[in-house]
Every structure is written in structure tokens, then in C-alpha cells.
Structure 1
Amino acid sequence: MSEGSSPRKTGPESGTAETEGAVKRSLPGRLFNMPYLLLLTAVLCWSGNVVIGRAVYEDVPPIALGFMRWSLALLIILPFTWRRTLQDWPVIRRSLPVVLLISATGIAAFNTLVYFALNHTLALHGALLQSTIPVLIVVFSFVFFRETMTPKQLLGVGLSIVGASIIVGQGNPLALLSIQFNPGDMILMIAFCCYGVYAVFLRKRPQVHPLSFITVTFTIGVALLFPVFLLELTFGRQPSANLPTIGAVLYVACFASVLAYFCFNRGVELIGANRGGQFIHLIPVFGSLMAVFFLGEQLHWYHGVGVVFTGFGVYLAAIQKAARAR
């Protein structure tokens, strides 16, 4: 060893550091720290949720769809997460009130209310009103945590709303003024308020592994929905067992639940609720593209214009850190 050189660390500590470094350099480790890719994946998975909820509303009652969705999602992840969840439980228990709030609003209430509303309104209305979620996140961030946005980010929010409106309004945002809203739309707005609270309070989540966190929130969500599900059954509303129903439940459990919530929670953890929430404006964009590729619908000029407005707006709103009120 040359004079002045520091000795190389050996033993358990050096082995642990090398292992952690190898994990961070691995492909999953790099993806785990790419917030924009994670958030894009989440909204891509959510883009088909409203359409599927509307498509199967006659075959699957809303509470049954929500209960089966989260129950199946929990069964999928539990074999891989229960040990780590037990290890993290002491930390989770210290933050149980926040975890209960997050589970009640983002897991139990939000999706179930959306499915219930889609029994009384159109998927088009759901796509339109879903664009209000980022705005609600900004409002709730200020109300609960006094977090504000820069003028550039506010401009980005406005452009995103315009872009989503162009797509939903098929090239004429003013045409949205002629849409007749109904009680189902009011239920949607309550649902989106629940999601806004969920997204904002993610910053208060316990510092545990993301898989432990979604395991606990999914479990609480299922527990909260179970008695309401039984009540729905007593009124004779039972789900039909057919291939479209099974396919819908598999989609909302695997993609709109497990994958989407894992990616969104991690993305918000990395860049914050205000910036991460703006990606929800992309749901009408992805929904339109899905309709083109999977349903054979035609691509129109307003899709391209809406994508440009929404994409640039999300870029402006998400690229800079939100300013905090002092």
C-alpha cells in the first residue's frame, strides 16, 4: 500500500455498500428512480380504467368491482410482500392515522365512487372531469401544506387543461359547454376530491418500502369495502361471471391497481404531488390513442393538437420544483 493511500474497507459494511451500489446500478434500480417514466406508466394503466368501468357496469355492480379489484390485487402481491410488510409494520403503525386516511380516500372511496358514478354518466364525462384532479391536487396542497406553484407551472396546468379539453371536445373546447352534466358527474367530482386528498397526503406516508406501503393500503381498502360489498349483495346486485367481466377485473387489478399505484406512489415520492399530479392530464391523451390502436377508431387532427398542448403543459408544470410559501 502506498503512503497516504486510504485502506480499502473490508468486512460486512463494505459488502453491504457494494450490494446497495450494485442494486442502484441495475436496470430495476435505475427505473425505480425515474419519476417521469414511473408516472407515465401509471397514467397509461389508468387510461383504460374509466372505459372499462363504463363497459361492464351492467354486469358488475360498482362496489363489487372495487372489492374484487383490490382483493385480487392484494392476493397478487401478498406472497411477495408479507415478510417485508411485517418487518415494516412498527414504522407503519406509528403513522397509522395517515395510512388510514390514504387508504380510505385513494383505495376504498375513489375507485368505488368512480364505478358507481359510471352507472349514471358517460365515460366521456369521466375523461373530462378527470382532468380536474391535478387542479384539485394543487388546491389541496395549498390548503393543507401551503405549497404553491410558480407562474410557469400554473401556465403548464392551464395548457394541460386546454389540451385535454381539445381532445375530449373533439377539436372544439367550447363544445364542452353544451354537455349536460348529471348527478353521476357530481359523484365523480367527490371521487376526484378523494383522490386529490390521497395524492397530497402521500408526502406524509411512513418511510417504508413501497411494496409494504401498498400492501397495507390495499389491505385496509379491502377491509373497508367488505361490509359495503355484503350490503350490496343483500340488495340482489351480484356480478356476472363471463369472459369480459373476468378480463375487466384482471385488468383493473393487475395494471390499474398493482402496477399503477406502485409507480404513482414512487413518482410522487420523488418529485412531489403538485408536479406528479399534472401527469393525470395525459389520461385523455392515452385514452384516445388506446381507442385508435385497440378499438380501431380514427385518429383526427385534434388528437395531435391536444397531445401537443397537454404534453407541453405537463412539461412546464412538472419540470420545476414547486415553490413553497414561507
Structure 2
Amino acid sequence: MSGRLDWRMALLLSVPPLMWAGNAVVGRLMVGQIPPLALNALRWTLAGALLLPLAWRVLRHPEVIRIRWGYFAKLGLFGVGSYNALQYMGLHTSTPVNITLIAASSPVWMLMIGSIVYGVRARGVQLAGAALSLAGVALVLSRGEWARLAQIQLVPGDLLMLAAVISWGFYSWLLARPPESMRGDARPSWNWAEFLFVQVMFGWMWGAAAAGAEQVLAPADINWSGSVVAAIVFVAIGPSILAYYCWGKGVAAVGPATAAFFSNLTPVFATLLSAMLLGQSPGWYHLAAFALIAAGIVVTSRPVKTADAR
């Protein structure tokens, strides 16, 4: 049963979307300073190192991880390995505001993946909410000019972010529908840091391989500076560790349905940060798109009325 949402919990749940928005803005600032896949690999290298003192216990029993390697390889690929890498690549041609607004359309892709892959039928209110969210995404992609949709003219970065959101959808369903070895009494007694650390280990392997391929196919140097180091430290601590911790605590306290509303603060924070740090003022279609996406989430999250309801 969910607890009350007081101001302290509201403040805690506001931290993750702020970190996610900061991640998008920092990723944009790093364009030309560090290759996107290298940034992703370095981010998770440092995050793993910082988690190690809290999660070293899992390394004492490698057989526990070994018998579940297939599951964690998939989690690492779709989460740590792909999502942020695609986002950083997308930021080379798109903007933080567009990136976070497209990310806010994730319920659409969650429903599609659940229906096609897991056979979970969507409810009517979920489909209505998905339609509103999808309209918001279309508004962003068209830059407020609907004729562009007919011409299928999309910014490459927007397409990369759509791929990232779909990847995150698979990641989320893998968390929601784990194999038998990760359910009930069979699940290892790991805390949040240990569970995240194992994901980071497998995701880092995917990320490092991608960064290596990037250097072979499109070699580029890292322009090391104080700002680059600060950016890597921020994305490793804020979006990678702090956001996960606050999100987990918040969801445990008030439940996932209530916590989900806070994720829609991400494009709001991204808009504010972009205006302050990048000088990118939002267009009218950004605000309209956010309203549509937020309305879609509200509709989707409405409680189901049962036959016993009065």
C-alpha cells in the first residue's frame, strides 16, 4: 500500500527528473569535446567504481551472477549499454528539450512492447493516454508544422532518441517480467546498489565494445579539460547513482503510479536548463507537446474501476 506524498517525498522524487534533464543538457554541451559512445563508457566506468564500495559483496559469489548471466546481459544491453549511448548520439543533432520530450513518450512504446512481446493487452484509458503522448511526440518531431510529418523529414537525433526510448521499454519490461531465477525466494538478497552494480558490469561491457567500435569507425580525440572531467563526474554520480537511489526510495514510499508523474518534470527541467546554459529558448510547440504528453500520462495512470467499486 502506498504511503502519503508529503513535501519531503515530493522533493526526493523531483531529484531524478532534474538529474535526467541535466544529463541531456550536459550531453549537448559535450558535443565536440568527447565522442558520445566514449562518454557513455566513461560514465559507467566511473559509476561502477563508485558503486563498488557499496556492492563488492556480489563479487564474492560469482556463481550467483553466472547462472543469471543471460538476463543481466539483456538488461545491460538495453539499459546501461544502449539507452544513454543513443541519447548522447542523438544530442549531436537534436536538442535537450526535444530529447526529453521524446523520452516522455515512453508509455506509448511500453504498451506496444507489452502487447506484442508479452501479450499484455492495453486498457482503453491506456490507449487514450498513449494517443495523447504520441501526438505530443509528433508535435516535437514536426516542429509545429504538421506538413513535415507527411514528408517524413526527421532530425537524425530525434530518431536516435526514439530508438533509445524503445530500448528503455525493453529494459523496463525485463525488470517487470524477470525470469524465475530473479523471482521470489530465488532472487539474490541484493540491495539497490548491488543490483545496479551487476547491471553496470554487464552494461559496461556493451558500452566499452561500442566505444571501441566508435574509435575504429569514426576516430575522434577527447579534448580533455576541466569541463569534460566535471561532465563525466556529474553524469556518473547524478543521473547514474543519485537518480536511481532517489527513484527507488520514492517508488517504495508512494508507489510507482504516483512516482510516475514526477518523471514528466524532466522536459520542464530540460527547458529551464537549456535556456540558462545553452541559450535555447523553447518554442510554442515544446510547451504544447509537453501538455499533451503530461495529459497522456495522467489519463494512462487513472485507477481502474472494478466491479465492486461504489
TM-score of the two chains, using structure 1 as the length reference:
0.70
How many angstroms apart in 2 are the aligned matches of 1:38 and 1:201?
26
| Pairing 1:122–2:94 present | yes
**Aligned equivalent of 2:124, options 139, 151, 164:** 151
| Pairing 1:47–2:21 present | yes
| Pairing 1:251–2:223 present | no
From the superposition, tell whether residues 188 and 227 of structure 1 become closer, same or farther in structure 2 (CA, over 3 Å): same
Relative contact order, higher structure (CA 8 A, sep 6+): 2
| Pairing 1:98–2:81 present | no
* CA deviation after TM superposition for structure 1 residue 115, in Å: 1.8
How many angstroms apart in 2 are the aligned matches of 1:322 and 1:138?
20
**Aligned equivalent of 2:50, options 68, 72, 76:** 76
How many angstroms apart in 1 are the aligned matches of 2:61 and 2:301?
31
From the superposition, tell whether residues 203 and 39 of structure 1 become closer, same or farther in structure 2 (CA, over 3 Å): farther
Gaps of 5+ in 1: 1-24, 26-30
* CA deviation after TM superposition for structure 1 residue 183, in Å: 4.0
- The question of whether the paired residues in 2 share the 8 Å contact of 1:164 and 1:284 is answered with no
Deviations 1:59-89 (A, max 9, x none): 1001110111101111111112212x24676
Q: Which residue of 2 aligns with 1:65?
A: 39
How many angstroms apart in 2 are the aligned matches of 1:213 and 1:41?
21
| Pairing 1:209–2:191 present | yes
How many angstroms apart in 2 are the aligned matches of 1:168 and 1:320?
31
How many angstroms apart in 2 are the aligned matches of 1:86 and 1:75?
13
From the superposition, tell whether residues 179 and 285 of structure 1 become closer, same or farther in structure 2 (CA, over 3 Å): farther
How large is the RMSD of aligned CA atoms in angstroms? 4.0
How many angstroms apart in 2 are the aligned matches of 1:149 and 1:293?
40
Q: Which residue of 2 aligns with 1:109?
A: 82
SS at match of 1:47: helix
- The question of whether the paired residues in 2 share the 8 Å contact of 1:167 and 1:284 is answered with no
- The question of whether the paired residues in 1 share the 8 Å contact of 2:136 and 2:288 is answered with yes
- The question of whether the paired residues in 1 share the 8 Å contact of 2:90 and 2:161 is answered with yes
Q: Which residue of 2 aligns with 1:19?
A: none
| Pairing 1:195–2:168 present | yes
How many angstroms apart in 2 are the aligned matches of 1:228 and 1:164?
28
Whichever of the two has the greater Rg, that structure is 1
From the superposition, tell whether residues 226 and 138 of structure 1 become closer, same or farther in structure 2 (CA, over 3 Å): same
| Pairing 1:221–2:194 present | no
- My pick for the range that moved more, 306-315 or 127-136, is 306-315
Q: Which residue of 2 aligns with 1:18?
A: none
| Aligned positions of 1:172-321 closer than 5 A | 172=144, 174=146, 177=149, 180-205=153-178, 206=182, 207=187, 208-233=190-215, 236-264=219-247, 280-292=263-275, 309-320=292-303
- The question of whether the paired residues in 2 share the 8 Å contact of 1:161 and 1:281 is answered with no
Q: Which residue of 2 aligns with 1:6?
A: none
How many angstroms apart in 1 are the aligned matches of 2:199 and 2:280?
37
Q: Matched residue pairs, number? A: 289
Q: Which amino acid in 1 is paired with 2:56?
A: W
How many angstroms apart in 2 are the aligned matches of 1:283 and 1:78?
28
- The question of whether the paired residues in 2 share the 8 Å contact of 1:42 and 1:260 is answered with yes
